[in-house]
Amino acid sequence: MSIMTNAQETTDPRSAPGGTPGVTRATLRRNFWRGVWRVLRRKPSRMVGVVIVAGFAVMGVAGPLLYPDHLPRDDDALYAPPSLRHPFGTDFEGTDVLALVITGARYVLLTGLATAVITVALGTLIGLFAGFRRGRWDTVLMRVTDVNLAIPGLPLLLVLSTVWKFESPLEMGLVLGLLGWGGIARAVRSQTLSLRERGFIEAARGLGLPTTHIIGRELLPSMAPYIAMNMLIAVTGAVYAQVGLFFLGVLPFESNNWGVMLNLAVFNGGALTTAAALPYLMAPLLAILLLTLGIVLIVDAMDEIFNPRLREE
């Protein structure tokens, strides 16, 4: 990492150390947005990612408002094939599958958001603390992180589901967050370790600036993009785990969500043996695929914006 940034510093005159007196914060910011624009324009597919994720966010917020509390059933059209009225057909009770996907999005996305916030908050705090204090605290915290990383998460979740029913999305997010912070903690720690030896941090320390300033104003901003990317990735992890738990059927079906749909389609509807229930299975699968694609495209774009060595030679 440090080798690469050094190389970049020597090739990019603007960021060369000592050569920046005339560059103000405003021009730096303008340069940054110009870079963002360049990356987005070079590969328009990145815009697609923003659009997809924004679409899902709208779906999560407004989706359940579009439909009545109890979705209408059509007893004459069980497992109806896709049509104009039912773009993805109907389920075993004759409910429109598209409506199920849209109303089920809120639970999934809320869990994803809660998980991401908790994962990132815990991971960043622990990583920063371990990397900045070093010494004994570092050793202890990294041992805990190792355990956190090595525990098989999904089997543990399954076993936990016998005593804990994860009634609300927030509760689920809390558990997933508590299980998933290890990767971010370790990455943030190693970034902290390498950053704290760099000139600008040493200068800040030499100026006698308080630790809160060094961490909050100097260290965190340089890691922020990285942390933001990890937050988005944590959302995909959360979707994986919670939809998976419902798919396996180890949690009670309290409300409609994508995992419940998958479970009913596969184990009740026999979607894997007959083609009739296939649209019912495909709709939530496509939703998960699209959401992942959107997040991946955004992370990809962010990676290129903030990580200059990935840009073309």
Partner 1 sequence: MTPTLRGRARSKTSKTSPTSPTSSASPKAVARRVAGHVARGLAMIWVVATISFVIIREIPGDPVKGQYESLIQKGMSPEQAERATAVLYGFLPTGSLWEQYTGYINSLLHLDLGRSLSTPGVEVTTLIGSAARWTVLPVLAGTLLSFLLGVIMGVYAAIKRSGRLGDVLALSGSLLHGVPVYVIGLLLTAIFATLWPIMPSGGPVDVEHVPGLNPGYLGSLAHHAVLPVVTYTLASYGGWILAMKSNVVAVLGDDFILAAELRGLKRGIVFRYIARNAILPLFTVLALSIGMLFGGSIFIEQIFNYPGLGLLLVGSISSRDYALMGGTFLVITIGIVVANIVADLLYTAIDPRVRSGGAA
The footprint of partner 1 (CB under 8 A) covers 3-4, 7, 43, 45, 134, 143, 146-147, 149-156, 158-163, 193-194, 197, 233, 236, 239-240, 243-244, 247-250, 262, 266, 271-275, 278, 281-282, 285, 288-289, 292-293, 295-297, 299-300, 309-310, 312-313
Rounded to a whole number, what is the distance in angstroms from the first to the last CA of the chain? 17
Question: By the 8 A CB rule, do 284 and 261 touch?
Answer: yes
Our CB check for partner 1 shows the closer of 149 and 209 to be 149
DSSP classification of residue 167: -
CB of 108 to partner 1, least distance (A): 12
CB of 7 to partner 1, least distance (A): 6
CB of 175 to partner 1, least distance (A): 13
Our CB check for partner 1 shows the closer of 209 and 290 to be 290
Our CB check for partner 1 shows the closer of 154 and 203 to be 154
CB of 211 to partner 1, least distance (A): 18
CB of 155 to partner 1, least distance (A): 5
Beta bridge pairs of residue 90: 96
Alpha-carbon distance 41 to 35, whole Å? Answer: 10
- Neighbour tally for 309: CB within 10 Å: 12
Our CB check for partner 1 shows the closer of 214 and 297 to be 297
Q: What Å distances lie between residue 154 and 108, 150, 168, 216, 248, CA to CA? A: 17, 12, 19, 34, 11
The SS3 assignment for 127 reads helix
Residue 198 token pair? 């760099």
Our CB check for partner 1 shows the closer of 41 and 43 to be 43
Sign of the torsion angle spanned by Cα atoms 252, 255, 259, 261: positive
